[in-house]
Chain A
């Protein structure tokens, strides 16, 4: 079994050791873990302050709809202040918005990495005509202007189709080509390695070679690719929601809150701060973690931080 290949084991423990010593990667992991906790515990945390992301609280606003009090209406009940016009609790919107961001981000990444890995392995391992066909198709998909296409598709998708699922599928559908490219390249080089040739020589079935010889050697690279794909998917969801074609209200989304903040930026700039900072920190966390993972697993790449 290739999993027990001593070289492979050694590489993995070495990578772990390096990762544990990488302050940036650890900070990134901590940020990501913090947001995962926030999303998971959202109902619990909002129960503490007796808030939810949907209830209007006109009491917290003045007659012009601007939050009363300092920093956008921060108080014991509203930890991060309230939304102008409606008085909905910003902390609750932020916590539940983290669910949207993470679910869409991880869901879309799962789709793109799964499709990309399968296409990449098939193209790289079978070679020949299938490779030419799949590679051409991958190139064609890369030529599609993805954001424009997502927007255009959002205009024509029937309203009966669940919007979050649509967003996950559409972001995933445009994310797989870059994964497929890398996986294909890696598979191409693995295919000619001695242990694969040996497995073929003793007549191992292709499914077994793929599962026991090729995949274990791809797994770490695919993990890195997946981690680095998540921030892109999260920003894509936020961008779509920012443009008003993401998840439908009242489901909280950071992107939509940022878009709403545009019209209040002069009277209530604090409204922009919480969702903006959250989106930035979550993206930053995944980027730092992804960078660290790449440096740990691929020592050839000198890394961005030397």
Chain B
């Protein structure tokens, strides 16, 4: 187990290094010059050179990358003398557009994204697994067909479309939920949940479809296996057979997909936040793209990659806990 953890952690660090390097090369080799946007208007050659030096983009690419890595581990300072700005570890860069370190920007927007994602994820995992189980146990009958038709529709619906329809119907026509604002959890937990209920339900509805399909096919396969027949032959109650024996095995791939989806949630947040007008990581990224704010773009991208990689590790650990064969 320890060997496994050490190996996997080393692998993760390797993958993350590769991802950061690739991100760095792709975004800094392109003609979009972060110093040009930092230099402001009017941009004289002197102030451009100053901005270059301040951001460190006057140095060769590999030096920049090493500086970036150093900043990530130990922090770094931008500029010298009176105008210097310290950026504590983990430093992802400095956004001239916002006059703040990328780490601070991410820390400010992160709670919004996590609030949306976490609530939705809990909701869709529960509903998806429940619907899939019902569907599998009533195979071919009305509940099964209803769930599977819903799932097919849900899989094909783009989240922003459902989101917009939900805002239109529940937000404007019925006027029962607030539209497009975010209340921090620490400020008022009830208001926090109330403002998030629409995005949660929309995301959960769509993702639950995928989980229902997956749970159903896995459970059907597992119910046909020998160990389930053995459990039944031992005279266990059907409930125990399904929940303790079959479902536990059937859920292993579901957990895999769940982990990967959680890792990829940052990507989906871009769209959700646009639809529900909330300023999280996704909105920060779109904003940065509009202003060619490269440090923010690379920072968010690297963070998103880190999420995927860590989610992969968590999935592997969950595998070991769930599946007695591994």
Interface residues of chain A, those whose CB is within 8 Å of chain B, are 24, 139-140, 142-149, 151-158, 231, 235, 238-239, 242-245, 258, 261-262, 265-266, 269, 272, 276, 279-280, 283-284, 287-288, 291, 301-306
Closest to B216 in A: A304
- Report yes or no: A284 in contact with B156, Cβ–Cβ below 8 A: yes
Chain B positions 189-241 with a Cβ under 8 Å from a chain A Cβ: 213, 216-217, 220-221
Interface of B, helix, strand, loop or mixed by DSSP: helix
Interface residues of chain B, those whose CB is within 8 Å of chain A, are 15, 18-19, 26-27, 30-32, 139-140, 144-145, 148, 151-153, 155-158, 160-161, 164-165, 167-168, 172, 213, 216-217, 220-221, 264, 266-268, 270-271, 274-275, 285-286, 288-290, 292, 294, 297-298, 300-301, 304-305, 307-309, 312
Instruction: Give the distance to chain A from B135, nearest Cβ to Cβ, in Å.
Output: 9
Interface of A, helix, strand, loop or mixed by DSSP: helix
CA distance A242 to B221 in the complex (A): 39
B308: chain A residues within 8 A (beta carbon) = 142-145
- Report yes or no: B160 in contact with A258, Cβ–Cβ below 8 A: yes
Extra contacts, 16 of them, besides A146-B267, A235-B158 (Cβ < 8 A), are: A140-B19, A143-B305, A143-B312, A144-B305, A144-B308, A145-B266, A147-B268, A148-B300, A148-B301, A152-B27, A156-B26, A242-B274, A258-B160, A261-B164, A266-B168, A287-B152
Given contacts A154-B289, A304-B217, A306-B144, contact A258 B168 (CB under 8 A): no
Instruction: Give the distance to chain A from B69, nearest Cβ to Cβ, in Å.
Output: 18
A244: chain B residues within 8 A (beta carbon) = 286
B216: chain A residues within 8 A (beta carbon) = 304
B221: chain A residues within 8 A (beta carbon) = 302
**What are 29 inter-chain pairs, A to B, with CB distance below 8 A?**
A147-B271, A151-B286, A152-B285, A152-B289, A152-B298, A152-B301, A155-B290, A156-B32, A157-B30, A158-B30, A158-B31, A231-B156, A235-B158, A242-B158, A243-B270, A243-B271, A258-B160, A265-B164, A266-B168, A266-B172, A276-B165, A279-B158, A280-B158, A283-B157, A302-B221, A304-B148, A304-B151, A304-B213, A306-B220
Given contacts A145-B304, A156-B27, A288-B152, contact A140 B172 (CB under 8 A): no
CA distance A262 to B163 in the complex (A): 10
- Report yes or no: A155 in contact with B156, Cβ–Cβ below 8 A: no
Given contacts A143-B15, A272-B164, A302-B220, contact A151 B289 (CB under 8 A): yes
B26: chain A residues within 8 A (beta carbon) = 153, 156
- Report yes or no: B158 in contact with A238, Cβ–Cβ below 8 A: yes
B304: chain A residues within 8 A (beta carbon) = 145, 148
Given contacts A151-B286, A269-B168, A306-B144, contact A156 B292 (CB under 8 A): yes
- Report yes or no: A152 in contact with B158, Cβ–Cβ below 8 A: no
- Report yes or no: A305 in contact with B19, Cβ–Cβ below 8 A: no
A235: chain B residues within 8 A (beta carbon) = 158
- Report yes or no: A148 in contact with B266, Cβ–Cβ below 8 A: yes
B158: chain A residues within 8 A (beta carbon) = 235, 238-239, 242, 258, 279-280, 283
- Report yes or no: A145 in contact with B305, Cβ–Cβ below 8 A: yes
Given contacts A148-B267, A284-B153, A304-B148, contact A239 B164 (CB under 8 A): no
Residue from B140, B148, B161, B271 in contact with A280 in the complex, judged by beta carbons closer than 8 Å? B161
- Report yes or no: A245 in contact with B289, Cβ–Cβ below 8 A: yes
- Report yes or no: B271 in contact with A242, Cβ–Cβ below 8 A: yes
**What 8 pairs across the A-B complex have the smallest Cβ distances?**
A145-B304, A147-B267, A284-B156, A155-B289, A283-B156, A156-B30, A156-B32, A276-B161
